[in-house]
């Protein structure tokens, strides 16, 4: 494990992980709103539009650890005033949303040593498929977290369960859901199927690092608050960009660890 971690760090440097993370953070910011629109549209088939919007925003507030009120206000206004609808609007949203998944596919190919990709059209098709797969997993995580909050309110808290236990249950559930998303990204985004054990190892490391990054970033913003002091009203946007950058770093580190584990397992065969 220690050797794999060391190789992951070396791979991060060799692949210029910081530059990769910067590119992924750009695509994440560019695709965030289109993906939110799609999530609200999909949830709108089973819920009212307002309920779907609040469900998605509630999940986003669990992912982004700071500026929850400001982000919710901005996203609510954007969703409420959106103009795209119908097949044309859905197609445009799909086109913008898949840019992030295309970038992820290229990054995963580089890290896992995939020499020959799927080609342009097959790559675009796989990006669309993975968009719906990851979107379905995201919506499933929304339902699971809502169920947990219901249990916390009506079962766990009334039963006088210690608050710290409930907190650790929430952290464990969050880690599990995040690890599932990381696992799908590491195993199925590259141009070849990655060994399940290697993808799982990278996913667990990525989920742990991401939870640590969220808590540290939250502590930093609350304690220092430098973005508000320097950038004023733009502090929320800058903080969101920095959090997207940290997310990209964690995603790449987890992938590098998975690649190191896969290389080690293949060498033993």
Q: Quick one: three-class SS letters along the chain? A: CHHHHHHHHHHHHHCCHHHHHHHHHHHHHHHHHHHHHHHHHHHCCCCCHHHHHHHHHHHHHHHCCCCHHHHHHHHHHHHHCCCCCHHHHHHHHHHHHHHHHHHHHHHHHHHCCCCCCCCHHHHHHHHHHHHHHHHHHHHHHHHHHHHHHHHHHHHHCCCCCCHHHHHHHHHHHHHHHHHHHHHHHHHHCCCCCCCHHHHHHHHHHHHHHHHHHHHHHHHHHHHCCHHHHHHHHHHHHHHHHHHHHHHHHHHHHHHHHHHHHHHHHHHCC
Chain position carrying tokens 């797969």: 133
Q: Is the pLDDT of residue 47 over 60?
A: no
pLDDT at 201 over 70: yes
| CB-based burial, 116-145: b 16+ in 10 Å, e otherwise | eebeeeebbebbeebbeebeeebbebbeeb
CA distance 32 to 30: 6
- pLDDT at residue 208 in the model: 94
Give residue 257's pLDDT.
96
Nearest-10 crossing angle of helices 235-267, 86-111? 50
- The whole-angstrom separation of Cα 132 and Cα 231 is 36
Average pLDDT over residues 105-111: 93
Cα(130)–Cα(154) distance, integer angstroms? 36
CA 173 to mean position of chain CA atoms: 15
Higher per-residue pLDDT: 208 or 44:
208
| pTM, to two decimals | 0.85
Residue 6, token pair as written in the block: 């060391």
The reported pLDDT for the residue numbered 225 is 63
Instruction: For residues 175-204, give the mean pLDDT.
Output: 93
- Looking at the predicted structure, is the pLDDT value of residue 217 above 90? no
What pLDDT was estimated at residue 157?
A: 87
Domain boundaries, the chain: 2-267
Confidence band, pLDDT 50/70/90 cuts, at residue 21: very high
Weakest-pLDDT range from 45-54, 190-199, 201-210: 45-54
Higher pLDDT, 241 or 187: 187
Question: What's the whole-number mean pLDDT along residues 15-19?
Answer: 94
Q: How confident is the model at residue 56 (pLDDT cuts 50, 70, 90)?
A: low
Who wins on pLDDT, 16 or 140?
Answer: 16
Question: Per residue in 120-164, pLDDT tens?
Answer: 788 888 888 888 888 888 778 878 888 998 899 898 888 888 989
Say if CB 210 and CB 238 are below 8 A apart.
no
Is the pLDDT at 216 greater than 70, yes or no? yes
């Amino acid at each position: 494990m220690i050797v794999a971690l060391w190789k992951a760090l070396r791979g991060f440097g060799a692949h210029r992980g910081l530059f990769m993370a910067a590119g992924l953070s750009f695509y994440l910011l560019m695709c965030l709103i289109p993906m939110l629109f799609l999530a609200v549209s999909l949830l709108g088939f089973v819920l009212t539009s307002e309920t779907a919007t609040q469900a998605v925003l509630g999940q986003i507030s669990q992912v982004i650890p700071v500026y929850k009120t400001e982000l919710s206000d901005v996203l609510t206004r954007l969703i409420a005033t959106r103009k795209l609808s119908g097949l044309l609007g859905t197609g445009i949203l799909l086109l913008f949303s898949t840019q992030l998944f295309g970038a992820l596919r290229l990054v995963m190919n580089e890290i896992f040593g995939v020499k020959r990709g799927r080609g342009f059209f097959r790559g675009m098709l796989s990006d669309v498929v993975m968009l719906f797969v990851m979107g379905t997993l995201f919506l499933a995580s929304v339902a699971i977290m809502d169920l947990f909050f219901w249990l916390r309110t009506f079962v766990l808290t009334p039963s006088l369960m210690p608050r710290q236990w409930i907190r650790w249950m929430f952290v464990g559930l969050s880690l599990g859901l995040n690890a599932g998303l990381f696992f799908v990204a590491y195993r199925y985004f590259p141009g070849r199927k990655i060994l399940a054990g290697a993808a799982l190892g990278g996913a667990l490391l990525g989920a742990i690092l991401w939870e640590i990054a969220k808590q540290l970033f939250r502590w930093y913003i609350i304690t220092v608050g430098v973005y508000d002091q320097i950038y004023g009203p733009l502090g929320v946007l800058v903080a969101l960009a920095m959090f997207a950058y940290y997310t990209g770093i964690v995603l790449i580190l987890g992938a590098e660890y998975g690649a190191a584990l896969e290389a080690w397992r293949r060498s033993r065969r």
